[in-house]
């Protein structure tokens, strides 16, 4: 990670020395420069997180310096400082890409907060790029978003099973990304060039499922005028995704068990078996332990399927991923998320809701906002009433009054409101910043609030 340095440019030596002292005392790496032209040289040779520049200086003025710095190092934030600051020059500076505008005499509290916020923002950005880069080296997970510890565990599993083709059982509530994960497992495996065949077992009539899966021979039933392959044969060399596996009838369960044990299928009406090379991934949103207890699901089939077990977390358990997911869906529907802003109030509402329909519901909420014509700023008014009207301190929808869960949620809301700024979140919560850091570590809140 680059270290975060601050450069302060002013032609007044006295100001430079005050700033130098103050920022060093705050623990920042700070350099000062009295000439705009020399400042540009420095920015070309080393990386600064942020440059503060006086507006009126002899050689080149602050606006020109801002323009040249942005040209040489676009990721460096520039803040114009001026005693002659008028609204017009502030607006002009922002238009040219100034991050903010600082008035002289400098308010040192605000000065410090500004720097902290910029460094924190850049640190999180680098951290996210680093994590993403590391994960991307191993597999493609482009469409699976989330950096919470629970999602990272899932990436680790996907990563581990990219070789060999162990059978996978994915459990999780509706809308948590089971189908998406199955697809990603396939794309990340050495079968990626083979077919990926999803089958919704719950949507196919019991009497048809067997022949859909395994095919049939001519004359096997009325209307079977010729031999036909099933979905297992179609998936040869690839992956079959058996969604809603708990809905499968006892007869089909027996056939599936045979496929998993012997890697052979028998078409309906046939006496011979065919060898198939298919990886099976199954998913369910039902509690399969209960189905086994009630004897509606075979325990031996469960063990065959559950070689690798993945449980998708409900969205209410990975609330810290909401900002990333929201950005992801904005890009998904708009092609790009630049220029889009979600107000802190709207983000607070999104992070305070309990999401019974999980990520699918969140995706629908964003899609709905676009359908209603929202432009560039997504605010509370653009959210459905059940989310917009919920006060963020209303925990009545919680299934239990777990104080730790509530504490975690409040901290995440504060982080959401402050765009991830821990110092500001601490102020908002009335606790000190070290407590915020401790709670973040305790609850495994990911660095995703940007």
Ligand X SMILES: Nc1ncnc2c1ncn2[C@@H]1O[C@H](COP(=O)(O)OP(=O)(O)OP(=O)(O)O)[C@@H](O)[C@H]1O
177, interface contact from Mg ion, ligand X, none, CB < 5-8 Å by kind: ligand X
Binding residue for ligand X, selected from 4, 115, 119, 146, defined by CB under 6 A: 146
Gap between the Cα atoms of 250 and 237, Å rounded: 27
Task: Kindly state the smallest distance separating residue 245's Cβ from Mg ion, in Å.
Answer: 11
Binding residue for ligand X, selected from 328, 349, 409, 449, defined by CB under 6 A: 328
Which residue has the CB atom at the shortest distance from ligand X? Answer: 177
Binding residue for Mg ion, selected from 166, 179, 194, 269, defined by CB under 5 A: 179
Judged by CB under 6 A, how many residues of this single chain contact ligand X?
Answer: 18
Q: In the structure encoding, which two tokens stand for residue 289, read together?
A: 């332990």
144, interface contact from ligand X, Mg ion, none, CB < 5-8 Å by kind: ligand X
Gap between the Cα atoms of 404 and 410, Å rounded: 10
Compare residues 6 and 283 and give the one whose CB is closer to Mg ion. Answer: 283
Give the CA dihedral 311, 316, 317, 321, nearest 10 degrees.
100
Compare residues 179 and 194 and give the one whose CB is closer to Mg ion. Answer: 179
Compare residues 102 and 291 and give the one whose CB is closer to ligand X. Answer: 291
Binding residue for ligand X, selected from 235, 259, 359, 440, defined by CB under 6 A: 359
Compare residues 209 and 281 and give the one whose CB is closer to ligand X. Answer: 281
DSSP secondary structure of 399-413: SS--HHHHHHHHHHH
Q: Which of residues 174-233 bind ligand X (CB under 6 A)?
A: 174-180
Q: Could you tell me the CA-to-CA distances from 197 to 144, 207, 311 in Å, in that order? A: 19, 20, 21
Compare residues 114 and 235 and give the one whose CB is closer to Mg ion. Answer: 235
For residue 188, count other CB atoms closer than 10 A to its CB. Answer: 19
Give the residue among 287, 310, 284, 297 at the shortest CA–CA distance from 257: 297
Compare residues 239 and 285 and give the one whose CB is closer to ligand X. Answer: 285
Gap between the Cα atoms of 97 and 187, Å rounded: 41
Task: Kindly state the smallest distance separating residue 24's Cβ from Mg ion, in Å.
Answer: 56
Q: Tell me phi and psi for residue 226, to 5 degrees.
A: -155, 170
Gap between the Cα atoms of 187 and 181, Å rounded: 10
Binding flag, residue 144, ligand X (CB under 6 A): yes
369, interface contact from Mg ion, ligand X, none, CB < 5-8 Å by kind: none
Give yes or no for a contact between 201 and 242, defined as CB atoms under 8 angstroms apart. yes
What separation, in Å, do the N-terminal and C-terminal C-alpha atoms of the chain show?
18
- Chain residues in the site for Mg ion (CB under 5 A): 178-179
Residues that bind ligand X in the complex, under the rule CB under 6 A: 143-146, 172, 174-180, 285, 325, 328, 359-360, 363
């Amino acid at each position: 990670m680059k270290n975060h340095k601050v450069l302060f440019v002013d032609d007044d030596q006295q100001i430079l020395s005050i700033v130098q002292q103050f920022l060093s005392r705050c623990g920042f790496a700070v350099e000062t420069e009295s000439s705009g032209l020399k400042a540009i040289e420095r920015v070309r040779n080393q990386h600064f997180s942020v440059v503060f520049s006086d507006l009126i200086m002899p050689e080149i003025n602050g606006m020109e310096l801002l323009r040249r710095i942005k040209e040489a190092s676009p990721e460096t934030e520039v803040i114009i400082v001026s005693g002659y600051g008028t609204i017009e020059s502030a607006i002009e500076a922002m238009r040219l890409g100034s991050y903010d505008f600082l008035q002289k005499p400098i308010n040192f509290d605000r000065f410090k907060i500004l720097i902290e916020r910029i460094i924190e923002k850049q640190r999180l950005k680098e951290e996210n790029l680093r994590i993403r880069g590391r994960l991307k080296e191993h597999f493609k997970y482009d469409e699976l978003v989330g950096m919470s510890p629970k999602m990272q565990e899932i990436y680790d599993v996907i990563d581990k099973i990219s070789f060999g083709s162990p059978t996978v059982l994915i459990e999780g509530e509706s809308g948590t990304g089971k189908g998406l994960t199955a697809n990603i497992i396939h794309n990340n495996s050495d079968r990626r060039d083979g077919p990926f065949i999803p089958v919704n077992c719950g949507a196919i009539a019991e009497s048809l499922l067997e022949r859909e899966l395994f095919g049939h021979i001519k004359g096997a039933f009325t209307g079977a005028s010729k031999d036909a392959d099933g979905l297992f044969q179609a998936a040869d060399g690839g992956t079959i995704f058996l969604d809603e596996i708990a809905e499968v009838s006892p007869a089909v369960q027996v056939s599936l068990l045979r496929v998993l044990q012997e890697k052979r299928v028998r078409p309906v009406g046939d006496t011979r078996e065919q060898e198939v090379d298919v990886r099976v991934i199954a998913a369910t949103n039902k509690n399969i332990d209960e189905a086994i207890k009630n004897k509606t699901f075979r325990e031996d089939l469960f063990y065959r399927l559950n070689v690798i077990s993945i449980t998708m977390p409900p969205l209410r358990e990975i609330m810290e991923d909401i900002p990333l997911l929201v950005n992801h869906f904005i890009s998904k529907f708009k092609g790009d998320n630049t220029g889009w802003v979600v107000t802190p109030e709207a983000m607070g509402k999104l992070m305070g809701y309990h999401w019974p329909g999980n990520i699918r519901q969140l995706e629908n909420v964003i899609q709905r906002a676009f359908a209603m014509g929202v432009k560039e700023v997504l605010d509370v008014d653009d959210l459905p009433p059940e989310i917009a009207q919920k006060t963020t301190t209303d925990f009545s929808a919680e299934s239990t009054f777990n104080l730790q869960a509530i504490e975690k949620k409040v901290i995440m809301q504060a982080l959401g409101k402050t765009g991830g700024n821990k110092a500001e979140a601490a102020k908002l919560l009335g606790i000190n910043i070290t407590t915020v850091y401790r709670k973040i570590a305790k609850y495994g809140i990911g660095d995703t609030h940007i």
